[in-house]
């Protein structure tokens, strides 16, 4: 079997396993998995830029929140139905990521991190400032009755799970396909050696710009899906810790791996969920687990598996 | 190798003895008479970490005390109450997850106890979807504004709109009519801005200047020169880790000559009034949800409440006088748990299938007399808006203590209904 065929089997197999899990898991874990899939979609978006292109953004929460607000405000203020509102969420994130890309890509390295962080802070404060429409830090609820798609109630647990799985699968397959295409290879080339890629005649700026837009749009898609599936939109999602979360998930799962974001998001979710059941000082347990992982699995969980046992892992 | 389970005469005597001892304990005896001895499980969404942690700690202590009092009084419908606490990190995303955990993992009967508005609003959709009654203790206007759902209720603490508007008559009559407001530039501050401005104008007063302070601010001196010179009353409200800096810098700015100062105690909740730098607060006024210092006319109910929670007459922990409570808010947990008890008893609540009956029973409540169950004062619950209304207190700082100078009527806190949740289906 070729590497590409193996990776197709892996991704379709993963989706099949998730379908089965969605059908057999108890309600609580089914609900958790739906959330994890949406968050993993956000991490997949982040991974396109960080894991594959080598650009570390510390402001991705603004893209997630742009999708969330684009979709949520269209439903809340303009009474749009779910599908066009989701489209508005994607368009908002794409437009914002294009603007940020044009400006932030004038910088590299640490400066790129700081500029993206500053843009995200500006976005966060703007969301608070425009509280009359955005609800500021309190946010707003999208009424349960409005969250319907083609006659299906997205508030019904199984429907919501499959909607989340659909969003995740599209993002997963899209990025997996993209990274097998010449475009993806060039992104990896930029990550490995930007100068050499430029010397070979590739337009590095254009590729990096597209990477930011694709990454931001996928992240925004996750934000829009979160608004529709879980019914809440608020400025917390634009705050700095929501820029750090996808970095953490990707590092834990394995940067530059297709399934790493899912593994990282699921690992963190359940680490917090179980540790908080044991003690109120659960952040200590979480911190210790992260330190151990950093010490003994520097490439992340999937990255370490690839390094040690399965070198073909995409 | 398996071992046969044999009951020896000695172990049988031991078991019977233990059983007799258990049944002989008055409390357990009462529970044993109930139809089902299984505890009523109340999911407590606690801000143990994050920005709400100071509140969360005291909400936790009050909740423990209330449950102890309820259990000592025979529990609910003869069943003991058990609290299942989960930290939400004062985060709306985790808050929603915690509500789902209460409903589906812990099999709680109801969820309760959230304070910060963004966590309430973020969690309310989950409560509605899981069909679990969600009793919040938040003082936000979000419930009564109609933005949430039929499963979300606030029967134990008044909302910011009623609190703020009830202050205006006293401020206009006693402190001055030209007001400058200084508040945090996010939703909580905007509520104060909008509701107080309208209320003071209704009293023939005016707001000269609205000074909004961005939430990320750590120093406030540059905002104070914006206060107009002809200001008669400075109205301040601030929350978060920088409150102490805010109040100290305000004192440094004005020195001995300042306009009348009126603040919400939120600015100094859980802060010792005798902290260095706060001397200038002498003679200034505060809204208090519940007077922190035991007053000369202290009711027996307040006395009992303090004793149960472990708060001294200065509003600090009996075990550590430096550990100041969030006294203006935390009574809400005590009262809400007693409302849950009253609602469950009125509806004959047996289990999750009776959740709708419980909500209808609470919606049917109206007058709540001042009592050990309602130590803060009498209240009136509005079943349509799911919001309770009650008296508010204004205190003046005298000799480093907050002394009550005014109590509003409940009528002062009323405003027209903005929603009728009873028309929504379950």
Closest partner CB to A280 (pick from B48, B122, B128)? B48
User: Which helix (H) or strand (E) element contains residue A236?
Assistant: none
**Cβ(A167)–Cβ(A278) under 8 Å?**
no
Kindly report, residue by residue over B158-174, the tens digit of the pLDDT.
999 999 999 999 999 99
Kindly report, residue by residue over A282-296, the tens digit of the pLDDT: 889 888 988 998 888
Tell me: pLDDT of B23 over 60.
no
The answer to whether B337 and B63 have CB atoms below 8 angstroms apart is yes
Predicted local distance difference test score (pLDDT) of residue B5: 41
Q: Are A258 and A175 in contact (CB under 8 A)?
A: yes
User: Comparing A224-228, B28-32, B320-324, which segment has the lowest mean pLDDT?
Assistant: B28-32
Instruction: Encode pLDDT of A206-248 as tens digits.
Output: 999 999 999 999 999 999 999 999 999 999 999 999 999 999 9
Which CATH topology does B38-158+330-390 take?
A: Rossmann fold (3.40.50)
Look up residue A247 and give its DSSP letter: H
Which stretches of chain A sit within 8 Å of chain B by CB? 26-28, 31-32, 35, 121, 125, 128-129, 131, 135-144, 155, 230-232, 234-237, 272-273, 276-277, 280, 282-283
Q: What is the mean pLDDT of residues A137-166?
A: 93
Are residues A303 and A255 in contact, defined by beta-carbon separation less than 8 angstroms?
Answer: yes
Tell whether the model's pLDDT for residue B313 goes beyond 90: yes
CATH 1.10.3470 fits A3-308, yes or no: yes
Structure tokens given for B64: 């423990």
Contact A282 B87 (CB under 8 A): yes
CB burial class (10 A; 0-12, 13-18, 19+) of residue B252?
A: exposed
CA angle B167, B215, A100 (to 5 degrees): 145
pLDDT at residue B371, as a whole number: 96
Weakest mean pLDDT among A13-27, B93-107, B175-189, B371-385: B175-189
Inter-chain contact A273–B100, Cβ cutoff 8 Å?
A: no
Report the residue from B126, B148, B186 with minimal CB separation from A131: B186
The whole-number pLDDT of residue A239 equals: 95
- When pLDDT is cut at 50, 70 and 90, the band that residue A160 belongs to is very high
B275 CA: distance to closest CA in chain A (Å): 29
C-alpha closest to that of A229 among A172, A148, A174, A173: A148
Q: Which residues contact B43 (CB under 8 A, 6 or more apart)?
A: B84, B86, B98, B99, B101, B102, B103, B106, B108, B110, B111, B112, B132
How close, in Å, is residue A273 to chain B by CA atoms? 9
Alpha-helical (H) ranges within chain A are 3-24, 27-47, 61-76, 82-104, 109-129, 131-134, 157-180, 182-192, 194-199, 204-230, 241-253, 260-278, 282-296, 300-308
Q: Could you read off the pLDDT of B92-137 as tens digits, one per residue?
A: 999 999 999 999 999 999 999 899 999 999 999 999 999 999 999 9
| ipTM, 2 dp | 0.91
**Cα separation values, A22 from A35, A37, A158, A165, A228, Å:** 12, 11, 7, 9, 19
Task: State whether B118 and A234 contact (CB < 8 Å).
Answer: yes
Mean pLDDT of A159-175: 97
The whole-angstrom separation of Cα B92 and Cα A227 is 12
CB of B404 closer than 8 Å to CB of B411: no
Inter-chain touch A135–B105, beta carbons under 8 Å: no
Q: Where are the domains of chain A?
A: 3-308
Q: What fold is seen in the domain B161-288+392-412?
A: Rossmann fold (3.40.50)
Q: Are strands A148-149 and A152-153 parallel, antiparallel or unpaired?
A: antiparallel
Q: Where are the domains of chain B?
A: 38-158+330-390, 161-288+392-412
CA distance B112 to A244: 30
Q: Is the pLDDT of residue B9 over 70?
A: no
Question: pLDDT averaged over chain A?
Answer: 94
pLDDT tens digits along B31-69: 444 456 899 999 999 999 888 888 899 999 999 999 999
Instruction: Give pLDDT, residue A1.
Output: 67
Average pLDDT over residues A125-153: 91
Q: Give the pLDDT confidence score for residue B1 in this predicted structure.
A: 37
Cβ B117 vs Cβ B134: under 8 Å: no
Predicted pLDDT at B35: 52
* Full DSSP string of A31-60: HHHHHHHHHHHHHHHHHIIIIIT----S-T
The mean pLDDT of B353-358, rounded to a whole number, is 96
Query: CATH topology of B38-158+330-390 equal to that of B161-288+392-412?
Result: yes
């Amino acid at each position: 079997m070729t590497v590409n065929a193996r990776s197709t089997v892996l991704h379709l197999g993963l989706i099949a396993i998730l379908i089965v899990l969605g059908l057999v898991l108890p309600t609580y874990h089914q609900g958790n998995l739906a959330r994890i899939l949406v968050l993993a979609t956000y991490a997949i978006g982040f991974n396109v830029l960080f894991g594959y292109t080598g650009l570390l953004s510390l402001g991705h929460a603004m893209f997630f929140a742009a999708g969330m607000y684009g979709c949520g405000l269209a439903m809340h203020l303009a009474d749009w139905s779910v599908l066009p509102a989701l489209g508005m969420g994607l368009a908002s994130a794409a437009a914002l990521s294009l603007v940020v890309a044009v400006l932030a890509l004038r910088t590299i390295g640490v400066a790129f991190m700081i500029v993206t962080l500053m843009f995200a802070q500006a976005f966060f404060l703007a969301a608070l400032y425009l509280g009359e429409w955005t609800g500021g830090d309190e946010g707003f609820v999208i009424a349960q009755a409005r969250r319907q798609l083609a006659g299906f109630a997205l508030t019904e647990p199984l429907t919501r799970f499959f909607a989340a799985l659909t969003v995740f699968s599209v993002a997963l397959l899209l990025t997996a396909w993209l990274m097998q295409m010449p475009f993806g290879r060039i992104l990896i080339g930029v990550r490995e050696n930007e100068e050499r890629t430029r010397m070979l005649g590739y337009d590095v700026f254009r590729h990096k710009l597209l990477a930011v837009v694709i990454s931001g749009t996928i992240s925004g898609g996750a934000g829009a899906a979160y608004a529709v599936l879980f019914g809440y939109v608020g400025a917390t999602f634009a705050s700095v810790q929501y820029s750090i979360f996808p970095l953490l998930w990707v590092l834990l799962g394995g940067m530059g791996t297709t399934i790493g974001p899912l593994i990282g998001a699921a690992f963190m979710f359940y680490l917090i969920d179980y540790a908080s059941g044991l003690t109120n000082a659960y952040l200590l347990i979480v911190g210790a687990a992260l330190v151990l992982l950093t010490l003994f699995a520097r490439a992340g969980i999937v990255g370490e598996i690839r390094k040690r046992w399965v070198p073909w892992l995409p | 190798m398996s071992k046969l389970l044999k009951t020896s005469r000695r172990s049988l005597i031991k078991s019977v003895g233990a059983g007799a001892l258990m049944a002989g304990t008055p409390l357990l005896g009462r529970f044993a008479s109930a139809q089902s001895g299984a505890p009523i499980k109340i999911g407590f969404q606690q801000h143990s970490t994050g920005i709400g942690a100071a509140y969360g700690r005291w909400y936790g202590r009050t909740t423990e005390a209330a449950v102890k009092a309820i259990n000592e009084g025979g529990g609910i419908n003869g069943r003991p109450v058990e609290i299942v606490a989960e930290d939400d990190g004062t985060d709306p995303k985790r808050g929603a997850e915690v509500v789902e955990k209460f409903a589906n993992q812990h099999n709680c009967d109801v969820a309760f106890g959230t304070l910060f508005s963004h966590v309430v609003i973020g969690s309310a959709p989950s409560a509605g979807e899981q069909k679990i009654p969600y009793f919040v203790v938040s003082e936000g206007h979000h419930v009564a504004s109609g933005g949430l759902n039929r499963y979300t209720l606030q029967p134990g603490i008044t909302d910011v709109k009623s609190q703020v508007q009830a202050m205006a008559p006293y401020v206009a009559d006693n402190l001055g009519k030209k007001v400058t407001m200084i508040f945090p530039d996010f939703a909580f501050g905007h509520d104060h801005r909008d509701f107080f401005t309208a209320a003071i104008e209704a009293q023939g007063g005016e707001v000269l200047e609205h000074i909004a302070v961005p939430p990320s601010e750590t120093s406030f001196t540059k905002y104070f020169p914006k206060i107009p010179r002809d200001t008669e009353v400075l109205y301040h409200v601030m929350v978060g880790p920088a409150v102490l800096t805010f109040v100290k810098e305000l004192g440094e700015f004005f020195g001995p000559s300042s306009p009348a100062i009126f603040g919400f105690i939120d600015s100094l909740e859980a802060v010792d009034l005798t902290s260095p730098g706060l001397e200038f607060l002498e003679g200034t006024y505060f809204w208090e949800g519940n007077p922190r210092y035991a007053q000369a006319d202290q009711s027996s109910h307040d006395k009992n409440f303090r004793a149960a929670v472990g708060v001294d007459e200065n509003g600090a922990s009996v075990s550590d006088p430096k550990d100041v409570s969030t006294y203006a808010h935390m009574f809400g947990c005590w009262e809400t748990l007693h409302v849950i008890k009253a609602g469950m008893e009125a509806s004959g609540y047996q289990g999750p299938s009776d959740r709708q009956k419980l909500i209808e029973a609470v919606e049917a409540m109206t007058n709540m007399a001042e009592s050990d169950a309602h130590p803060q004062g009498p209240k009136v619950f509005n079943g349509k808006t799911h919001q309770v209304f009650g008296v508010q207190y204004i205190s003046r700082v005298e000799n480093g203590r907050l002394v009550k100078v005014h109590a509003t009527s409940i009528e002062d806190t009323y405003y027209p209904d903005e929603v009728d949740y009873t028309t929504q289906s379950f």
